Amino acid sequence: MQKKIVITGGPGTGKSTVIDELCRRSYTCMPEISRQVTLEAQKKGVDQLFLTQPLLFSQMLLEGRIEQYISAEKSSKELVFFDRGIPDVHAYMNYISQKYPPLYLDKSKLHNYDLVFLMPPWKTIYVTDNERYESFEQSLAIHNHLKHTYEELGYQIIEVPFGTVSDRTDFILQYIQ
């Protein structure tokens, strides 16, 4: 039976780096799609779609993450890792105090994950870039919204300790075993 595993956390916590390491170790991974959505909007002249049109941005993320989930279900892989899950969409909307359709929560309840690993904010590795504009303090607030959202949906959160990329990846894989 397939296990769907989310790796989530605020911006700049090392999620994508761990996902890249899992890919390097030949695991099936669904990449973060928000950077892709942001870059596409920037090509059309919208600097930060999440800030200017949060509902449109979030709808695009919701659709993309549902597509990833369905794609994973169609695969024969025993383990599929997701760089963020469907509940991240409404967690971020809660973070910015933006109302959103009940459909967001409905989709989170419909598409379930087996494990949720949370990467805590880590000031030592935190950097901003073209798509990551949040301050470290904002990353911490987002972390709290993500944790709360997943817990409200009934998930047990597994916090990934600080360490090297290899150590963090090994922690996740050992937990799954």
pLDDT tens by residue, 141-171: 999 999 999 999 999 999 999 999 999 999 9
Tokens representing residue 99 in the block: 């109302």
Which residue has 């494990």 as its token pair? 115
Q: Which pLDDT score is estimated for 12?
A: 82
- Return the C-alpha torsion angle 122, 128, 134, 138, nearest 10: 20
- Tell me what pLDDT residue 137 has: 84
Which domains, from first to last, does the chain contain? Answer: 3-176 (3.40.50.300)
pTM for the whole structure: 0.89
Note the pLDDT of residue 126.
57
Alpha helices in the chain (DSSP H): 15-24, 34-43, 49-52, 54-74, 87-95, 102-110, 136-152, 165-176
With pLDDT > 70 as the criterion, what percentage of the chain qualifies? 87
Cα gap 57→135, rounded to integer Å: 20
Q: What is the pLDDT of residues 17-63, one digit of tens each?
A: 999 999 999 999 999 987 777 777 677 765 665 566 778 778 888 98
